[in-house]
Chain A
């Protein structure tokens, strides 16, 4: 019998797996094998107890050789489990692995259909579809791309620094870019950090020493992402370097700072202090040179004069550099929840501050030298309010500027609150501390200890009703600056009035405005606006766009330990990629048929990866195979059917469709009319 589907040379081998009894208990595999043997193009059909076992694979290899098979259809479990196994077996027999197809008759037939006749019919349909499709398959080659052995790390906080250190320690060239003039990110603003109680600055300084001193690491601060070209293996990122203004350390820094007449809100101290236009966020920062804040500086020249005309330049122009790398690690971090004016009294009462601000006050090197006082008044009673900007509910919390609300838990605020409350109570034992919460989630290792400690220290816990969050008002009697009104669900739902000197809002964490980054690298974004990994368990630090890795809290709220672990994972994945020297990609790329392309540009807009360009000479679309991820969206949209996706072209899908919908022969009749002697039938 000649092969069907208009291709006389096709010789398909069909291998049907019993999978122990997983398939054969429901599907009549022998009847299916007999039905397969009658399908056009099938030269051999057989069953095996376990096709994926060594003897099963050996049978496939042997049959390919003995019967001159040039297509293989394996009807077994889901292709996600063993497609690669059977492709390897086919390759072992000298066949192109992409001439091997899989029919899923376990997960999608025998495990979901109880009726034997129905299950068998469905299995035969799927096998027939695979056989029909296989006739139209063409050999495909996996693409091999060279990888540049260097990595660009974007973000100089704890995650970016950790990733850079880990990559450099493997001998990989690393370029680290940071958009602000100083490294350290949010870690630099913290005081003591849980669960060790270490000074954040100590942890940071050690990390910076390891990175900045490393010969494989190049650091650019004041570096803004400008544009990006290229793809996995060879990204070309253009970065705009904003001049620092200061080229050498002034002999008398204090005199220079004093000379500057311009003041700005000190963002490093979260608005609790002011600083000059030429500034250093804290002593011991990196790089140690001060920087000029160009938005505040009027270029009056007072600092140049105070420095004796040396080391300060106010007329430097921004400069652009191109950074080439094989992979990119995104470590741009997150933001704290932007409080609205008057939200829980914030901005209305100076006695309402955020948890991050309290951390600046507790820091002995901070704006108050470590004293916790508001407008010079000491504090007797402190309240902490949890879940500000987290676990928000529709109808209770007004949406943010972009119309959304934060329904997720910010994860780090509970333990930070407990940790900070414990620090307060041990430094100021007379202080009365109240904790207003909906839930307390001290989930991490050793985190619960902080909860236990503050319980022992006498912190009073008040559980509010999330549908009626606490209200912050001024004290009508005027004795205290603030009064918090709430119901307490830990008692009988009593209405409470708690007078306070200071209310600390445990503000949640939100994704940064990453529009530029998202556009440049075509990142997937989750409903919470953080960047989205390919799979939370299988590929937790990779973006869908190849060669991009996620380090730390760009992916969602994380504490320092978690961000460090994520950064180490990202570094390890990026290292594995760039150290391999080259990479294999699936061959399901799109191809343009020049005889059909009309140059309409629809595919250019359709491609999510920017992989299609228009060649001006021919006015036709051309696919960059290194960028093409193989989704087939362009093939679906092309009005001329000029773009086809390899492995999923119209003829292949059409043949599958046709075979699925063809009239079904009676299976019982097949098995009674045609006598088969043994299991394996060759023709």
Chain B
């Protein structure tokens, strides 16, 4: 498949933040459904990838999302103590500062990554987090990481192979 990332309307008036949201299936994904059932309107900029547990969210996945053109990444899990898998969310919590420090080393603004808790009943919170995140990323503008990586000679991340392989 041909990649045409340069075609994106970066910086132009038509630019819209593209944010990837990793949601655990038991709490946060159900919380997102809950926002829908309550017909709470929120910006369409967060595209959701469902995982069974936020513990599945490998720091590499966050980097892969940014390296493939996302302007921000959101990781949502169950509240501490509510994990369907006992401690998966706790492991995510321990791991995410690492992601933050790696992003800082890459010079990526802190606001492009957010890790939060949304329970199955917190549709309103989900909508709020999405709105806040979208606003924050809009303020920061497009990240254009694939282009920046390409310019600096990092070719792997622009390759069309699946991210798991590419970032490895």
Contact = CB atoms under 8 A, between A and B. Distances in A.
A15 B86 CA distance: 36
B103 interface: no
Nearest to A645: B56
A660 B52 contact: no
A656 B56 CA distance: 15
B5 to A, nearest CB: 7
A185 interface: no
Which one of B3, B7, B55, B86 has the highest number of Cβ atoms from chain A below 10 Å of its Cβ? Answer: B86
Interface string A506-528: 00000000000000001111110
Contacts of B165: 650-651, 654
Given A112-B35, A629-B85, A632-B55, A657 B163 contact: yes
B47 A608 contact: no
Contacts of B7: 663
Contact of A653 (B41, B48, B81, B164): B164
Interface in A89-139: 104, 106-109, 111-115, 118-119, 121-122, 125-126, 129, 136
B160 A526 contact: no
A474 B83 CA distance: 49
A184 interface: no
Interface residues of B, number: 56
A247 interface: no
Contacts, number: 167
A650 B53 contact: no
A669 interface: no
Interface in B73-99: 81-88, 91, 95
A654 B22 CA distance: 12
Contact of A112 (B1, B68, B82, B127): B127
B85 A661 contact: no
A648 B56 contact: yes
Contact of A637 (B51, B91, B168): B91
Contacts of B139: none
A174 interface: no
A631 B83 CA distance: 10
B55 A631 contact: yes
A524 B83 contact: yes
A532 B56 contact: no
A40 B1 contact: yes
Given A107-B33, A657-B64, A663-B7, A112 B51 contact: no
A608 B163 contact: no
B164 A654 contact: yes
Given A104-B33, A653-B51, A4 B162 contact: no
Contacts of A523: 86
Contacts of A662: 1, 3
A534 B84 contact: yes
B35 to A, nearest CB: 6
Nearest to A109: B44
B30 A80 contact: yes
A654 B163 contact: yes
B133 interface: no
A606 interface: yes
Interface string A330-348: 0000000000000000000
B89 to A, nearest CB: 9
A268 interface: no
B56 to A, nearest CB: 3
B160 A658 contact: yes
Interface residues of A, number: 62
Contacts of B64: 654, 657
Nearest to A664: B8
Contact of A4 (B1, B83, B84): B1
Contacts of A111: 36-37, 39
Contacts of B51: 632, 648, 653
Contacts of A545: 86
A78 B166 CA distance: 31
A585 interface: no
A532 B78 CA distance: 14
A663 B6 CA distance: 9
A524 B164 contact: no
B30 A108 contact: no
B47 to A, nearest CB: 5
Contacts of B88: 608, 631-633
Contact of A608 (B69, B87, B95, B166): B87
Interface string B52-67: 1101111101001100
A106 B47 contact: no
Contacts of B68: 657-658, 661
Interface string A574-609: 000000000000001000000000000000001011
Contacts of B58: 635-637, 650
A630 interface: yes
Given A114-B41, A588-B52, A636-B55, A525 B81 contact: yes
A649 interface: yes
A422 interface: no
A358 to B, nearest CB: 35
B20 A113 contact: no
A108 B39 CA distance: 10
Nearest to B35: A112
Contacts of A663: 3-5, 7-8
Interface in B19-53: 20, 30, 32-33, 35-37, 39-42, 44, 47-53
A660 B164 contact: no
Contacts of A129: 47, 49
B52 A544 contact: no
A122 B47 contact: yes
Contacts of A636: 55-59, 61, 91, 95
A631 B56 contact: yes
Contacts of B164: 641, 649-651, 653-654
20 contacts: A78-B33, A78-B36, A80-B30, A107-B37, A122-B44, A126-B47, A136-B162, A544-B84, A608-B55, A608-B85, A633-B85, A636-B58, A637-B95, A641-B164, A654-B64, A657-B61, A657-B163, A661-B68, A662-B3, A663-B7
Interface of B: 1, 3-5, 7-8, 18, 20, 30, 32-33, 35-37, 39-42, 44, 47-53, 55-59, 61, 64-65, 68-70, 81-88, 91, 95, 120, 127, 160, 162-166, 168
What 10 A-B pairs have minimum CB-CB distances, sorted nearest first? A650-B164, A107-B36, A632-B56, A633-B55, A654-B162, A654-B163, A631-B85, A631-B53, A111-B36, A636-B58
Given A104-B48, A112-B44, A657-B49, 12 more contacts: A107-B37, A108-B36, A125-B47, A522-B86, A526-B81, A608-B87, A651-B165, A655-B162, A657-B61, A660-B49, A661-B20, A662-B1
